[in-house]
Structure 1
Amino acid sequence: MGFESPMPVQEEVIPLLLGEDNDVIALAQTGTGKTAAFGLPILQKIDISQRQPQALILCPTRELCLQIAGDLNDYSKYMEKLKVLPVYGGSSIESQIKTLRGGVHVVVATPGRLLDLMNRKTVDLGTVRNVILDEADEMLNMGFTDSINAILAEVPENRNMLLFSATMPQGIAGITKKYMRSPKEIVIGKKNEGNKNIRHIYYMVHARDKYLALKRIVDFYPNIYGIVFCRTRKETQEIADKLIQDGYNADSLHGELSQAQRDYVMQKFRIKNLQLLVATDVAARGLDVDDLTHVINYGLPDEIESYTHRSGRTGRAGKTGISISICHIKEKGKIREISRILNKEFEKGTIPSGKAICEKQLFNLADQIEKVKVNEDEIASIIPSIFRKLDWLEKEDIIKRLISLEFSRMLEYYKDANEIEAVDERSGRSDEGDGKKGRRSFESEKGYARFFLNFGKADGLYPNQLIELVNKCVPGKVLIGKIDLRDNFSFFEVEEREAKRVMDGMNGFEVDGRRISVEPAQGKKEGGGTRYGGKDGGSGFRGRGGNRDSYESDRSSKWSGKGGNSDKPWRRGASSDRSFRKESRSKSRR
């Protein structure tokens, strides 16, 4: 299986578990070889002739439960008739009861399902000689304290007990005091210290630019395979939907999904059909996925322990990983606190420029071409025809055409995109601008006319609805510039040559019985509000993967008004993805 020499946690724990009366508290990060540290000595001490539970392993989630059971089955490949049973919610309890009655040696369980089986009198823990609590801090955070107490009360007192935890919260002290006998404490690294193989980078941006920053960071790492952590279920689903809409291989994982949906998403992620998993902390607890390159915090968690668990998803088993945090100025104090407690230096990152992203993507393509394995037999019959077809092209022409074919949209996407404004951490202001916090220029861009619209966010109007509205009212192609949405009204720009046609076409149109009013913006009050604009906000260049058809707007139901060109189909953009520029196009002032 690739084991050559023991990892530090294995070197420390295995001798203790091979002995008797050795209770152990082991503080170690995920991905440090914990499963083998307790799995190998437990298996060595199993008496296969006794078909009764001799080892109990408790863990917080079904994903980790299945992972541990799978590893133990791999370790015990040559131990004939050894039976390991994973016990977890979301699967048939009857089949688990049937297997228990047939006799098992090792039970790997989540606390809730095991307690259910105990209440049904279908599992007897009186023969257990080794108890393992894996990721104990997460089980306590998930509210399993009472269940753990009820389970441990049924386990014999003369057993070994091992408690694994990445952090050491107060709740664990109660368990150790009540159920462990003079436990030996093993600390791999330092208490609460993060994995040494992980780089910690943070990007300080305005809150309005967080999603744009996420896209640029993902684009800068073409081979990214990671988890994007969000704070709430709603935010998780919104970010996943946006990424899918913009063409990324992404999906969501949160508590509102059914077990079947969770299994489906996790299977896609494990076999790398997904590059990005957007998840809440609760949904991602206990995930054991190999080779993650990045963990991205879409905002920092409230608890420092949560940050430790998040970042611990990458940099596992001696490999390197990157933990990225996208923060706004109010989270500056959290960065300092996490850095102090974990004793880790956080690097301040600069959002990649469009030019840097294009170069990185193009070099990645060149690298793939250079390393691709050519199957001569498969293509032998068609190669001569292809050679004849392309014979008139020089090598340089073929390379240029290949790059244009693969990346023309990406190059166009970033060609004129404005850079995301960096934030001065001392003042909270943009590093670029006129020096007055919160003040922005509202002058129309050259060649564009600016209009006032008497609908805003309070009316359920969002950028895609406004674009659809223009499409519905004005026949033909209209190039739309900046969109400024306010609570009760909005501003938007169109090409000057289309100004009269847009104003004439939209005035008189009704939404929910209310007449639309569009007029030149001169003299209208323009203070405050949120601005949308720029190429970064539009459709991303990653055209492969994702399910664009899955995007739904939950706000568009009332935007089906009367008048105008009402039989014209609604469209996402004014005529193409590039027609609508969602990122700010304002000029920087230094």
Structure 2
Amino acid sequence: MTSQHQAPETTGEDREATTTFSELGLSDAVLKGLKDVGYETPSAIQAATIPLLLEGRDVVGLAQTGTGKTAAFALPIVSRLDVSQKTPQALVLSPTRELALQVCEAFESYAAHVRGVHVLPVYGGQGYGVQLSALRRGVHVVVGTPGRIMDHLEKGTLDLSQLKYLVLDEADEMLKMGFAEDVETILAETPAEKQVALFSATMPAQIRRISKNYLRDPQEVAVKTKTTTSANTTQRYLMVSYPQKVDALTRILEVENFDGMIVFVRTKNETETLAEKLRARGYTAAAISGDVPQAQRERTVEQLKSAKLDILVATDVAARGLDVDRISHVVNYDLPIDTESYVHRIGRTGRAGRSGAAISFVTPRERRMLGAIEKATRQPITQMQLPTVEDINATRLTRFDDAITAALEDGERISKFRDIIAHYVEHHDVPEADVAAALAVVAQGDEPLLLSPDDVLAPPAERGERRGTEGRRERTDALGAGRRDRGRRSGTALAPYRIEVGKRQRVEPRQIVGALANEGGLSRDDFGAIKIFPDFSIVELPAELGGDTLRKLESTRIGGRLIELKPDRGRKPRRREA
């Protein structure tokens, strides 16, 4: 007879009081892996299921896609793997190759600190050679689609005789796709003494029968979630690859008329990395995560409320309980791991009767998660297109027009400048329109107002910033157009300096320029060549850096890592060519 365990109804707000992963009984190595990926508190399905699986119980989990169930079964398995056993100990059956690959990636992340763990995806469309070679070398976890698993069983190339754990992921989907017979055949080929976890969004009669025949006194875990979202919040998504995210966010910031914004990322490390990139692009941005002391968190939130700060980059836990009416936009830079977190995130905007906007970045592999969010919230999410250079230029012109209109309203100052312009026109015989255009050039500075189609969206090292008519910081340069001609500093001696970040930290030249310019008060003319190596980078800077500047740069961080800037003694200073 199936016993039942009804997980308490859980909402994003409620989860603030849930247990932590460290209280669930997981191994220390797995907890380290979770810390690396930035998971801070378990979802409802994880909190209810992980202790049961660690006890050895069979489990039937009733949960929608997007509730965090992959971690619910993967974490207990990784915690109990015997790496000395080379035949498969765990088999996860998934309905599609996409889901199988996602599950494999999750296992590998959680097992990052468990030495010697091997996970193998097995699905149709991939050559048998790769799979056979891996199986011969030894695999601990196999994640596959029923059809390809059946093929291996028929060929005798997959040994399930020592299997300890079996997971049926999205069982109802497998049955809908016609895998019912294959699933039962595979189950019959596994040892009688094993632990089984079955996850399904629904519980049709066929799944009830499988549960009765192949699970031993399973504990049933059903999770109810709060999935309502504010009617005041418009929801959009953008299909984007991971490397495009910073560029996409920068373009969106250009065209969206936002007041305060929260940008959600998945990990603690990414909060500071992204905040740094935004600051390099001229935005007032700060990071908060679960590691930030409470006093600092309160100061940051107060800055957001008082408009001294426009963008907050946060993890889910850090933003819990955050109530700032000024937040007009929420951006899911990384999609959350479950639908509850999505509801909680976008609940930070559209408050007190105000309108809000939620924008989610979706990578091709996250289409399923997007569908799960739409299904759970019962609301369609509208696809948006990446803003073009033309869109950005139109927005800049509109803001420029607004700035002129606002200035014209100050009659007293306009009158004084009118006399100055008249004096210039009289003595230089120049049309007033040309004088006005020249004044605009002076106000704009070196950065162009409008982008050309070839311009790269890179961070400017020098930023002309001014307050807009609504008190929010408007960037006159907004998106940099790459480095400008440095001939103006002809004759300046440059020397190579070494910094302790490189390709392994995924550092880019624009991050280096932005961080050093911010911390050391440098202009873009102070930078020469930048060469990035695996573990360090070489940056050409003025040979004679002042003591104060050098001390500031030594303690600069890029991506949360101390760069330890120091002169590189491997090359002699050279002089910039005229």
The two structures have a TM-score, normalised by structure 2, of 0.44
